[in-house]
Amino acid sequence: GAGVSQSPSNKVTEKGKDVELRCDPISGHTALYWYRQSLGQGLEFLIYFQGNSAPDKSGLPSDRFSAERTGGSVSTLTIQRTQQEDSAVYLCASSLAVAGSSYEQYFGPGTRLTVT
């Protein structure tokens, strides 16, 4: 079946502009995660959605970052007033958050964001 897809694959934007990144999780996966991977750094957790529960936003670095998940499927990550330090690869993952499962996260290919 289809894996996690993300769009766009690459995004170049000017400092101060807003950007939207999209994630299509694997069908049937109830959990969805956003991560940021900066050059030379490990993946940094941003936000986690699980079913209809309130999302865990504890990883969002500032109020310029927000995310939503509509209909329990597609998610968009929005960065307002982008800064150069926002340049990174943004990875989305989904998993079957079912009791007894291995909770493996399946990752998308990422969106490479460059803020000039």
Q: Is 27 a binder of another protein (CB under 8 A)?
A: no
Contact between 77 and 23 under an 8 Å Cβ cutoff? The reply is yes
Length of the chain: 116
Q: Is 96 a binder of another protein (CB under 8 A)?
A: no
Selected from 26, 91, 113, 115, the binder of another protein by CB under 8 A is: 91
Q: Is 102 a binder of another protein (CB under 8 A)?
A: yes
Dihedral-angle region of residue 40 (phi above 0 means left; psi in -120 to 50 means alpha; beta otherwise): left
Q: How far is the CB of 16 from another protein (least distance, A)?
A: 28
For another protein, which is the closer residue by CB, 22 or 80? 22
Beta strands in the chain (DSSP E): 5-7, 10-13, 19-24, 31-37, 43-50, 65-69, 75-79, 88-95, 106-107, 111-115
Calculated CA dihedral for residues 71, 26, 5, 62, nearest 10 degrees:
60
Q: Is 59 a binder of another protein (CB under 8 A)?
A: yes
- Residue range at the interface with another protein (CB under 8 A); choices 12-20, 64-72, 78-86, 99-107: 99-107
**Where do contacts with another protein occur on this chain (CB under 8 A)?**
4, 31, 33, 35, 40-45, 48, 50, 56, 59, 91, 93, 95, 97, 102-110
